[in-house]
Each structure stands twice: as C-alpha cells, then as structure tokens.
Chains A and B, each alone.
Chain A
Amino acid sequence: MEFFERFAVPHPSPLIYASMVAIGLVIIAIVLGITYFKKWGYLWNEWLTTTDHKRIGIMYIISALLMLFRGGADAVMMRFQTSVPENAFLDAQHYNEVFTTHGVVMIFFMAMAFVIGLMNFVVPLQIGARDVAFPRLNAISFWLYFAGAMLFNVSFVIGGSPDAGWTNYYPLAGNDFSTSVGVNYYNWALQISGIGTLMTGINFIATIIKMRAPGMTLMKMPMFTWSSLVTNVIIVFAFPVLTIALLMGTFDRQLGTFFFASENGGMDMMWANLFWVWGHPEVYILILPAFGIYSEIISTFSERNLYGYKSMVGSMVIISLLSFFVWVHHFFTMGHDALTNSIFSITTMAIAVPTGIKIFNWLLTMWKGKIRFTVPMLYSVAFIPLFTIGGVTGVMLAIASADYQYHNTMFLVAHFHNVIIPGVVFAMLAGLTYWWPKMFGFMLNEKIGKWAFWFLTVGFCFSFFPMYITGLDGQARRMYTYSEASGFGPLNMLSFFGAGLMAIGFIVIVYNVYYSFRYAKRGIGDDPWNARSLEWATHNPVPEYNFAIVPQVNSSEAFWDSKKKGHKLFRGDYKEIHMPNNSGLPVIMAGLFFVFGFSFVFYIWAGVIISGIGILACMAYRSFEKDHGRHIKVKEIEETEDKFGGAK
C-alpha cells in the first residue's frame, strides 16, 4: 500500500475526481469502440506505425487540437475564477496548477505540435519531395512528443500537476517550495517531447536543403518552406539549451545538486537566463511558420504574387538572429544595471523593424489584388491589425524603464496573448482550413467557418483588451483572487465573457469538422482555392507518394506559372518510386520513454532501469536492422493516378 500512496493527488477536489472518471470513461470508450469496429489492425498498420509525413502531420494536428481543448478548459476556468472578486471556485493551489498547465500545454503541446504538424504535411509537398529526409526519425519525433504530452497530462490525476508557473522559476520550483512531484513531471515531459522537437529540427533542415525538386533554388522556395527552414534552424540552436536546463533542474530536484538553489553556490537567476535563452527564440519558432502561412494565404486570396519576396526572407533571417539576443527583456527587473537593460531594450525594439517590413509587405501584396474573403483570408485579414496592436505593445514593453511597471502584470498577459492568438492560433486555424482539402479531399464549410471566425475574433478582443487596462491599474498576473476594493471586477468579468465567446468559437469549429465530414461535396478537384504553390499540383487527398512524377520548378510559384504561363511541371514518364517502410519501433520506443519518464518522476528506479535498457535495445536493433524500403511499381502508380481522376 505504501508504494501506491505516492500516486495520490496532494490537493484533491471534486473537479479532479470528475476528470479522473471522465478520463477513465473516455479510454474505455475508445478501446471498446476500436475493438467493436475491428479497427485495431487498421490503426496499427495505417497510423501508429506509419512513416508517411502526411499522416504524421495529421496525427500532430489531432493531438494539438486535443491539447487546445485541454488548455482551453484551463483558460475558461481561470477567467471564471477571476470574473468576480473573492470567487471561491478554485483555491490558490488549484489556480496555480491550472495556470501552470495552461501555459505548458498551450506552448509545448498545442502550438508547437500544430506548427510542426502543418510543417510535416506541407513542406515536402511544397518542395516536390516524396517524404522528409529521415521518415523513421520523423515518426520517432512525433511519438516522443506524444509520450511527453501524455506524461504531462497524467500529472493531473496521478501525483499532482506542476504549480510553479510555466516559466518554472527556481527556487520556487525547487523541492523546498514545490513539494509535490509536479515539477518532476514538468522536467520529464518537456525533456522527452523536447528531444522529439530537436530531431524534427534536424530532419527538416536536411529535407529542405537536400530534397527540393529540380529547379527550386533556395530563393524559389515558397514562403512557408522558407519560414520552416528558418524556424528549424532556430530549433536546433535553441532546444539544446532547454534540454540542459531541464536536466539541471532534474538533478537539483531528484539527485540533490544545487545548480539553481540560492545556497551552496547555486544561482536561481541562472534558470531564468537559461529558460529565456531558449524561451525567446521559442516565440519565433512559433510565429515564423505563422508568418509563412499568412504569406501563402494572403498571396493566394489576393491573386497576386507575394510582394517583396527577398525582403520577406531577409526579415525572417534577421529576426532569427536577433531572437537570440533579447532574452534579458524577460527579466529587466532582476536588478541589472541600466547599461545592460539599455542594450537589451534596443535589441528587442530592433525586432520591430523586420516585423514591420513583413506587415507592410502583406498590405502591399493585397494592394492591386483581387481579394476573396474566404475563411483562411478572414483570419489573415484580422491578424494584421490585431498582431500590430500586439506588436506595438511589445515595443512598449521593450522600453526597459516602463517595463518596471508592466512586468508581471495583466498588461504583459494581454500582450503575449495578443501576439500568440492572432499570430499563431489564427494562423494555425487558417492553415488548417486552407490545407484541409489537401489532407482529406473535401472542404470545410465556409459559412460555419465564418461564424467560428467571428466568435473567436470578437471573443479575443473582449478577453484580452481589458487586461491592458487592469494591468496598468496594478493587477498582477497569476493572482487567484482580488478584493472588491481593487476595482478589477468589471473588466475581469468582460474578459470572462470574451473567453466564453472564444470557447463557443472553438466548439463551432469542431461542429464544422463533423458537418463537413458528413455533408461536404467530394471530388472538388485538385485546386479548389485557385492557389499558387507546388502542393496544389498534386491530387486531393494526396496519394502516398505525393507526386507521380517529380515536378520541374521555374519560380516560387511554379504551379501558378503552369496554369497561367504554360510552364510544364511534369515531364517524362512514370518511374518506380522508392518509399520508406512502416515501422513499429518509434511507437514502442516512445512507450518506453513514457515509462522511463513516469518512473523517474516517482523515483521508481526499477522502472527507470528496465525502460532505459529497453530504449537502448531499440536503438541497437535499429542499428543492425536491414530496411531498404520498398518500391511502388509503375503499374500501381498508373492505377492510383487513374483513380484520382487522370494522370498528371
């Protein structure tokens, strides 16, 4: 019995018991459902063991949407708790756990997964490749992310969630002040999924550098591919810092070292520095692919080429460099001298210049265009003013002296949601709607999509604009309650109202998926949006080999040129196509990583050793495995192409 006591949740409440029951019922329902419909074989053969970049992309996106709802539920609980003064819905400890998991889930398991999911699906298609450079590694990346996400989510019902904020500052996150296993979960969940992300970074750099279609020079790549390349370079430079910082945190908490302690020569400020040396580039890891998506969408629906292609690329490269030189602005108030703060204040503001160039380039892309207000375009059009507001408040925060008044307040919360929601979340929803027909062969309903858009946009304004004001009125972030005398009540109620509208918006999106799946027209052709880049040159949905014949590229808009200027994309005859085999190894290995992480969280050394040996055994097996992939015969290609409505 003693063994099991450690798994108890330290601060149980009816909410947690209810979610335990809910999780249990959902798992039973899923298992029974799959068994009843006899889908275990399908699931294993077609999805769990797949190395197809498109399916991996879709699995990333499904996981990201699940995490969006998990993090969204946290968000609604927080806004409800603070909607009136002295609310007793959540106590302090629960509120602390809720905002911590909200941040972690939304950044690591929602936004990152969504971005990487779209990259997975779109990038190989945009460069005319058949898959990524290392398909097996790609599957391992996904399954490690998934293992990390699940490990993090079980903390809610087994052992307790982390409660030191998503920034996890020491010494608060140390054993003295955070006594549950929550922060152990934080360390291991992020460590495992972070390794996956790092491998994605390497994989996509190799893919984009080495596997572009003939004729596609670097400066002829579509903008989303460019943004992915820059993003993955940032990942490769930034994520090792997080890996090491998390490892040091694990050593401190579980093996008795003092890296981040305030005594014995440790230094709590080092965590803050390491965290943000990773954390600020992370912001650009999220936003640059979003910029890429907006570039694709705005150009498509303005029916114009992207204005200032070269300055778009240049500004992204400059942003990626600057992103490594601004981290101190996350703690201007840590007592540095005025000179240090001045330097980082200027480097931070400098980022506004390349970002401003991008905003104007988008406006100039629409100029003289023929603008169609489809759902993806609506998100992009709303993005421009909302992101500008988020951007300029970022410049306000970059003024070091003024930051002493904004830091740790709702003003800051308003700012970063103002860049992340219209920036990243809107981009992901726009990109998902835009590429949906490529993924599934039918379109999402435009009318329902527009309803969702309006709920989200109006809800966003009501949720977050009031926070700028309460921040300037002195409302600190992360307070589970406040007094009536403070006067924060009415505006917080307005925020809760906005959060409710956003929640409705997301539910409408789910309904749209259901509705479109049932009623949407199939057989929509290969180019439903009248688009411009290479991914639209193949069929909807995409056959597993992507392109029957490798396309010949002449510009960044090869597909548009093939439609308008008579450029011939596909020359020659079908040839045998070499494709990677499926493998069960990635999902098994990720399962072992999950057991490893879980055991380490609870100091179950037997589990750590056994799963550790298992992981090494998987690696050894892979080293000696002879897997040369398989070949798709010409006849098979012809059949598939006929089925998809004629050869290309």
Chain B
Amino acid sequence: MKQKWALLALVFTIVTVLIGCEPLLVLDPKGPQAETLSNTIWLSIITMAVIVIVVITLLVIVLVKYRASKQPDDYEPPHIEGNPILEGIIIGIPILIVAFLSVVSVVSTYQVESVPEGYEDKEPLVIYASSSNWKWHFSYPEEDIETLNYVFLPTDRPVEFRLYSFGPITSFWIPQLGGQKYAMADMVTTLHLAAEETGDFVGRNANFSGEGFAENTFIATVLSPDEYDTWIEEIHATADPITEDKFDELLEPGHLGQMTFTGTHLDFLPAPEGEHGGHNHGSDDSNTESHDEMDHEHEHESEHSNH
C-alpha cells in the first residue's frame, strides 16, 4: 500500500508540474555545457528509475506472497544463512551500475571543466564575476566595461568566467548555460560556459550568504555577435567611468539595480589571483607566472583596440 501511495504521490507531483508548465530550467539547456549536464542527468534518472522499479517490484511481490494472513497457521519460515551465488549477484550488479556511472561522471566532469566542445579554436571571452553582499559585479577587461547585476554574452564564443567574492562564499550559477561554481575571497575559480541561443536567462548566487541572499540574482542576456559589438560601442559612448570611490560605494551591503560603467575595478582593485592571491607567499615562481598572465592579458587588450 505505502509503495502505491509513494508512487502515486511521485506521479502526481511530476504530472502537475510537467503538464502545462514550462520545462524545468536545468533540463532546458541553452548552451553546450548545460546540455552535457542535462544529458548526464537524464541518463542517471533513467538508470536510477530502473533500480527503484526493480526494488519496489521485488518488495511488492514479497509482501503480497509472504504476508502472514496468506500463510497457514503452522507455517514455520525456513532458516536460510545465505547463498554465495545469489549474494554474488546482488554485489555484482550494483558494482556494474556504479562502474558505468563512474565513467559517465568522470567523462562529463572533464567535459564541463574544460572549454566547451567545438569551441576549442575560438578565443574565450574573459569576464570577471565578483560578488559582494548582495550583488554581482561583471568586469570585461577585454572590452574595458563593468556591469552590475547583469551580464551580456555573445553567442558563438566560449566564455571564461573568473569568479571571486568580496565577502562570504557565493556560488555563481546560470542554470540554463551550465553548472555552478563557488566564488571566494582569497582566490579565483574558473567556469567555462558557452551560449548557443539568444535570450534572457536567470542567474543567481546559489550559496547562502546572509540576509540579502534570496535577492542575490542577475540576468544573463545572450546576444548575437553583431548585437554584442553594438552594445559595447553604445556603452563606451554613454556610460561613466568607474572610480575607486564609486566602487567602494557599490561594495556596501545592500541591493542595487543594474548599472553600467566604462573601465573595470580590476585596474585599482585586482582580482585575488597570481601575486594578489590570498595564498600567495611571494615565491619567485608564482610572481613570474602572474606577470606572464598579465602580459598575456595586455596582448588581448591591444589586439582588441587594433580592431
């Protein structure tokens, strides 16, 4: 009975949602990384559903067949210690399933941790996304633009988000473009995404970060490359430059709407990576490394200005 109830409740809830509602965000991918994840999730749901159905079926059979009311009063259940073949099967099958899913897990994890497939040749757009209580700051070093609580992305180009935080640990998440990753105060983490369809997608901090956490959201807007270039030009024509004082104001705890600036706060307040990292202890190696990286970035910028 309870299995039926459990199943009924499950079916009921699934049906109420799936009929007449929009598809669930995570299972409605708009980019290659989110699609990899959506496929992985579907694969695991199907595999797991088979296990659940097998267990419930066995349980129902056993309960129906061996309930006391169906047995003669003098029935004495047998003493059975175990059976090596049967126990071999109940160990072997789970091992096979777990082995299969381990392969799925490893392959898909490597996929989403690298540049999306098909985008390896294209130069990634680097955006620094930093959180402060309870806002998201997006810095485009290449375009020399900074936005608050919204981010514009072009299609057909891999995007490399570099994440860090000006406060508690937060988690940067655009469900329809890919999985989430933590942003922390003493280091920079990297998230590889790409968008294939234009449109507005919800993004948020998924990791609890205090009082204003629920409203710690942003909009990710995906544009065609042409529209994206137009947007950049418009901003350079209209927006004010970001200053150190202005940025300090923005860091105050609270909620602000969407804002746009030219320049980035990285110029006066660099991200905690390389020599600015929280765990940099001034060894020579890391210094040269970070210089290399910075030179690399300057190259990007000069390339862009040459356009």
Contact = CB atoms under 8 A, between A and B. Distances in A.
A541 interface: no
Interface stretch (B40-48, B284-292, B295-303): B40-48
Contact of B179 (A163, A363, A401, A454): A401
Contact of B82 (A310, A369, A478, A490): A310
Contacts of A364: 80, 86
A583 interface: no
Interface stretch (A21-29, A32-40, A388-396): A388-396
Contact of B26 (A303, A385, A408, A472): A472
A402 interface: yes
A481 interface: yes
A558 to B, nearest CB: 14
B62 interface: yes
Nearest to B100: A349
A269 B108 CA distance: 25
Contacts of A150: none
Interface string A160-177: 000111000101100011
B106 A487 contact: no
A309 B81 CA distance: 7
Given A333-B171, A334-B182, A393-B48, A404 B112 contact: yes
B102 A474 contact: no
B256 interface: no
A366 interface: yes
B247 to A, nearest CB: 19
A364 B168 CA distance: 50
B106 to A, nearest CB: 4
Contacts of A304: 77-80
Q: How big is the A interface, by class?
A: 35 or more
A361 to B, nearest CB: 8
B232 interface: no
A456 to B, nearest CB: 10
A297 B135 CA distance: 53
B209 A370 contact: no
Contacts of A474: 24-26, 175, 202, 204
A399 B206 contact: no
A458 B279 CA distance: 51
Contacts of A461: 5-6, 9-10
Nearest to B272: A262
Interface of B: 2-3, 5-6, 9-10, 13-14, 16-17, 21-22, 24-27, 34, 36-37, 40-41, 44-45, 48, 51-52, 55-56, 58-59, 62-63, 66-68, 71, 75-82, 86-87, 90-91, 93-95, 97-98, 101-102, 104-106, 108-114, 133, 163, 167-169, 171, 173, 175, 178-182, 184-187, 189-190, 202, 204-214, 278-279
16 contacts: A163-B210, A165-B208, A169-B169, A177-B210, A302-B66, A345-B102, A349-B102, A356-B93, A371-B66, A381-B59, A399-B44, A457-B5, A461-B6, A469-B13, A472-B27, A474-B175
Q: Which 4 interchain pairs have the tightest Cβ spacing?
A: A404-B179, A335-B189, A262-B185, A461-B9
